Structure formats: C-alpha cells, structure tokens
Amino acid sequence: MRVIAELPHPECKITIFSMNQKYVIKLEKGIFEQVYKISELDVSDGVDGVFKILNDDFLKKASSRFNEMRADFNSAYKEYEEL
C-alpha cells in the first residue's frame, strides 16, 4: 500500500492510498478511523476523481460520524468501568 495523496482538512487527517487496484481513503481523527475503498476502475479521473468524491457534504457527514463513534465508544467504556 502506498500513499498517493494527503489532503489538508481542519476536522481530520485524510490520506489516500493505492493498493491492489483500489483507492483506499482513510480519515483519521484522534483514536478513530474511517476507511473507504473504491476500485480504480470506478473512478474515471484517477486520484482527481477521488478528490471530487470527498466533497463538503461527505466530509461533514464523516465528521458527524466521528462524533457518533466517540459517543458510542465512551458509552461502552463507561459500562466497562462499572463492571
């Protein structure tokens, strides 16, 4: 797997990899990650097409999902501590 791009974003770290004829899009925020895979054949513009997929609407929803992940994890951890 090789890094082909890193995109600056205030909410999370965005890294795009190329692996086995797929683009792997990894979003990281703190201890949480979201990973998306798409075949290189499904993106007509190459990595520029991946940039187009990562539009403002998608990134806002991904940011919201990070908040949900944190809340879910914190809830599960709190239950664990009460055992």
Identity of the residue numbered 75 = S
Return the half-sphere exposure (C-beta side, CA atoms, 13 A cut-off) of residue 33.
6
Q: Measuring CA to CA, how many Å separate 11 from each of 19, 27, 45, 81, 82? A: 25, 10, 26, 29, 32
Over residues 17-70, the pLDDT tens digits come to 999 999 999 999 999 999 999 999 999 999 999 999 999 999 999 999 999 999
Pairing of strands 22-29, 2-7: unpaired
pLDDT value of residue 63? 96
Distance CA 29, CA 48 (A): 23
Confidence (pLDDT) at 61: 98
What is the reported pLDDT for 66? Answer: 98
pTM for the predicted model, two decimal places:
0.92
Check residue 58 and give its pLDDT: 97
Q: Are 62 and 12 a contacting pair, CB within 8 Å? A: yes
Strand partners, 32: 29
